[in-house]
A and B are shown apart, each in its own frame.
Chain A
Amino acid sequence: MILLFAGIALAGGVHAGIPVRGVPGLGEPTFLTPASGWTTEVSGGWVRVFVGATEAEGAEWYARQLESIGRPPSPYTLAGADEAHGDGASLVMFRDGNVGVVVRGDTNAAALATTLKGAIVAAGPRVVATMDVGPDLGEPYGRWKVSAPGAAAIRAANGAGVDGGEAAFKVAPTAVYVWDAYGRVTVLTP
């Protein structure tokens, strides 16, 4: 599936991201906060991916990741990455422009990191997300409704959703995070 991606990303700059589904070896994504990115399990560990709006956001996320590891890793060489750290076996983390990745595996983190580096997509269509506020129709309709065709996931901070699992809320969330297929996030506020 990687061959079908929209474009080939060059090192540095702002990329669309990494497909949240379809990269071999990755499990089902869990979407965290806009500042954390998304994560998933892999054999023997986990992967963490962040797609910033700018290269500076990517660099800041990467610095936070590096700082929060109890035993600071050494620099690592990963072709095409702006910066990378780890041992190649159980940990490889790298940043390519606005995209940051941490691979915490068991024995071959480098291979998966290389796969993820190669999976970075240069450009792709963004999800158009809107939130409409309508009359209070109560259950099961809600008042705040999110429209985001093609979104990979919709997550809300606070608020109360209506029964039925639709992106509709009877109590307004403080924010709604709309994730697209490349791990970019759009934040909506009522």
Chain B
Amino acid sequence: MLLLLLACADADLKLDDEPAEGDTATLTVDGPAALDPLLGTATFALARSGGDTVTVAIHDASGAPVRTLVDSGAWVDSVTWDGRNDAGALVSIGTYSVFASLEETGTVVAEAATTAAVVRIGVTSGTLGGDDRIALVWHADGRRGNYWEAADDSATFSLAAIDQDGVAATIPAPWDDLYAPPDDLTTQNLPAAYPWDARPTLSLVVGGDATALEPGALTAAIDGWTLTAGEATPGSTLTFTKDTALATGPRVVEETLTLRWRVGEDDVGTQAVPLRIYALLGPPAFEEEGAPYLPWVAVIDPALRAVDGVEPTQAAVISGLVEHIYRDLGLSYDTQWGASAYTQYDGRAFDNAHIDLSGFLDRTRGSIVNCTDCAAILEAFANMVGAALEYTIITPSFGLNYIQAIGADTYTQCPFGSGGCGFSYHAVTTPDGGATIYDATLALDGDTDPGASPSTELLVQAITGEEYLDRLVSSGDPSYRFTQKETLQ
């Protein structure tokens, strides 16, 4: 934006000590076309030939000086303006001139100027969108009656104003209470959820004042996202679309985007947009609908972290969850009774399993569980991250080969001690009516003789229903029955 270049020989300058002919001093000043003083500063480059000292000052549109950056000081290659006047106050929105003069032994020998528009720009709210967005639930909202649902089109964050106490308002870090939503929903930054291969959109409402710029001069950009709708004008909405899939598989995507406000090739300022997005295998896979059957943040956050890096397949995800539940949650099998602490069957026989998932997450009734609990927990976790799973019951009673129950450190055929060498039933999970089995309650003996010690740990991750029974059962003739989806609260 080089606007003015005056040689010392210019007659209008009325120099007292004109340099000798052929010894012309020159001066240029160049810098960004716009400045948002709450988002950044503007640096103006100076170049010269001749002279020894320099003066740089900012003038408003009427020509009145508002800020002296250098006053006949030693030469500098650049000056930076923070958008404030000599009193330290922010200047008002408008167009300003940056005047530079080159002096030699106290006499001005060259002058140059450029202009810079002072603007104030920022986002006031943002919404992660797109057809694939999945609603989330915080399950422990005491004020609102347990479940609070962030709908699939609800705002991700919002700010009361783009400024707060004289500084640019910061978009809050993503809300990190996994159980309860914030009391003030208007100023928080809530996570969102999508299938892992979705390409989310991010709509940003623009606020501020950019009247000092020509319409259309201000643009916005986010690396890795493409502006697909809207203009960077206060009052309008910008919509960016992610260039690639959200993730390479199920995981928690935590990323801080850099929103760059630009005029031409110049950055006016940047804003950090922190996001937490849950990349699920797919939409929740429960049979029931309603808030309890949406992904609970308290479930999917740790579950997705546990399966981070696995292939985006149902088998890989459920297998990862089996290991997570079996090893990481501090659960132990009820070796006295095999009684469930969190799950009951509401129907005849083993129909209509219902888990108190809220109670389980709080461990309100301890960490001693049974197969019904483990199957229900695995089923809930899997369906919430998008991997369809049902429970199924192995019945009637049967004798056991060597197993290592959850929380145990040894293999045994008698998890209940002497005389307790079988199960009256056993609950496991399956995605396909018993053809494939997942079980977080126990590890099988994976060697060639599961009825003899020593044993080789085999987690029950996508084992065929036939092999599972072969390895688990030493006597009896049980089969898979009562296969169905659970309910939960």
Contact = CB atoms under 8 A, between A and B. Distances in A.
A149 interface: no
B488 to A, nearest CB: 10
A145 interface: no
B186 to A, nearest CB: 12
Contacts, number: 117
Contacts of A90: 336-337
A70 B366 contact: no
A160 B350 CA distance: 29
A163 B338 contact: no
A67 B349 contact: yes
A68 B336 contact: no
B144 A70 contact: no
Nearest to A158: B290
Contacts of A163: 143-144
Given A32-B354, A71-B416, A71-B420, A46 B145 contact: no
Given A39-B365, A46-B365, A161-B144, A72 B424 contact: yes
A158 B289 contact: yes
Interface residues of B, number: 45
B347 A35 contact: yes
A157 B290 contact: yes
Contacts of B147: 161
Nearest to A86: B337
A121 B370 CA distance: 32
Interface in A139-183: 155-167, 171, 173-174
The dominant DSSP class at the B interface is loop
A45 B348 CA distance: 26
Contacts of A156: 145
Interface in A115-154: none
Contact of B341 (A36, A46, A91): A46
A166 B143 CA distance: 9
A124 to B, nearest CB: 25
A181 B191 CA distance: 39
Interface residue SS majority, chain A? loop
Given A33-B354, A35-B347, A164 B144 contact: yes
Nearest to A32: B356
B346 interface: yes
Contact of A45 (B346, B358, B365, B420): B365
Contacts of A159: 290-291
A64 B290 contact: no
Given A35-B347, A64-B345, A71 B365 contact: no
A105 B338 CA distance: 13
Contacts of B424: 67, 69-72
B366 A46 contact: yes
A104 B354 contact: no
B189 interface: no
Given A33-B346, A41-B364, A70 B337 contact: yes
Contact of A91 (B288, B337, B344, B371): B337
A171 B426 CA distance: 38
Contacts of A45: 341, 365-366, 368
A54 interface: no
Nearest to A102: B339
A73 interface: yes
Contact of A165 (B143, B334, B348, B359): B143
B111 interface: no
Nearest to B147: A161
Nearest to A36: B344
Contacts of A64: 344-345, 348-349
A73 B416 CA distance: 12
Contacts of A189: none
A35, A71, A90, A173, most chain B CB atoms within 10 A:
A71
Q: Which of A46, A163, A174 has the most chain B CB atoms closer than 10 A to its own CB?
A: A46
A44 B367 CA distance: 10
Contacts of A162: 144
A30 B364 contact: yes
Contacts of A160: 149, 290-291
B144 A68 contact: no
B216 interface: no
Contact of B340 (A68, A91, A166): A68
A173 B347 CA distance: 21
A155 B489 contact: yes
Contact of B344 (A68, A104, A165): A68
A70 B334 CA distance: 9
A161 B426 CA distance: 37
B237 interface: no
Contacts of A167: 145
B359 A30 contact: yes
Given A104-B337, A165-B142, A68 B372 contact: yes
9 contacts: A32-B344, A35-B346, A64-B344, A67-B350, A68-B350, A69-B424, A70-B416, A71-B336, A71-B338
Nearest first, the 3 closest Cβ-Cβ pairs linking A and B are A70-B338, A158-B290, A35-B346
Given A39-B359, A104-B339, 12 more contacts: A32-B354, A35-B344, A35-B352, A69-B370, A69-B424, A70-B371, A158-B289, A161-B144, A161-B145, A164-B143, A165-B143, A171-B290
Interface of B: 142-145, 147, 149, 288-292, 334, 336-341, 344-350, 352, 354, 356, 358-359, 364-366, 368, 370-372, 416, 420, 423-426, 487, 489
